[in-house]
Structure 1
Amino acid sequence: MSKRKGLSLEDKRSRMMEIFLTSMEPFTLKELEKVAPKKKGIISQSVKDVVQSLVDDDMVLTDKCGTQTLYWSLPSAAAQQKRRRLSTLDEQIEKTKEGISSAEQSAKELKSGREESSEREEVLKRLGKLETESAELRSKLLIYSSCDPETIRSLKIDSEAFRAGANRWTDNIFSIRSYVSEKFSIPPTDFDKNFGIAEDFDYIEQRV
Structure 2
Amino acid sequence: MQIQPHLVLQTIKDVNQSLVDDNLVETDRIGAGAFFWALPSKGYQSRQNLIDNITNHQQTLDKDIEEIEAKIQMEKNSRISNDGEREQMMKELEELRKDNQQVVAKLKLYEKCDPEKLKEINENKKKCHQGMVRWTDNLYEIENWIKKNNAAMTGEEIYQAFPILRDLDYLE
TM-score range, shorter chain: 0.3 to 0.5
TM-score (norm 2): 0.42
Greater C-alpha radius of gyration = 2
Higher relative contact order (CA 8 A, sep 6+): 1
